[in-house]
Amino acid sequence: MGAGKTSIGRHLADALGLRPVDADREVERAAGMTVAQIFEREGEADFRARESTTLAMLLRDEGLVLATGGGCVLDAGNRALLRGRGFVVHLHAGVERQLERLAGDTARPLLARPDREQVLRELAAARAPWYADVADLVFDTDRLDTESVAAELATLLARRWLRTGAAA
Determine the Cα–Cα distance for residues 23 and 105; give it in Å rounded to an integer: 19
Q: Is 71 annotated in some ligand binding site?
A: no
6 labelled ligand-binding = yes
Q: Which residues of 103-136 are buried (b: 16+ CB within 10 A; e: fewer)?
A: eeeeebbbbeeeebeebbeebbeebeebbeebbe
Q: Does the annotation place 104 within a ligand binding site?
A: no
Is 113 annotated for ligand binding? no
Contact criterion met (CB below 8 Å) for 38 and 31: yes
48 is in an annotated binding site: yes
Is 2 annotated in a binding site? The answer is yes
CA 164 to chain centre: 24
Rg of the chain over all Cα atoms, to the nearest angstrom: 16
What is the DSSP code (8-state) at residue 68? P
User: Does the annotation flag 13 for ligand binding?
Assistant: no
To the question of whether residue 4 is assigned a binding role by annotation, the answer is yes
- Tell me whether residue 9 is annotated as binding: no
Q: Does the annotation list 70 as a binding residue?
A: yes
Query: Is 3 annotated as a binding-site member?
Result: yes
Known binding-site residue numbers for substrate: 24, 48, 70, 127
Q: Binding-site residues for ATP, please?
A: 2-7, 108
Residues forming the annotated binding site for Mg(2+)? 6
Binding residues: 2-7, 24, 48, 70, 108, 127
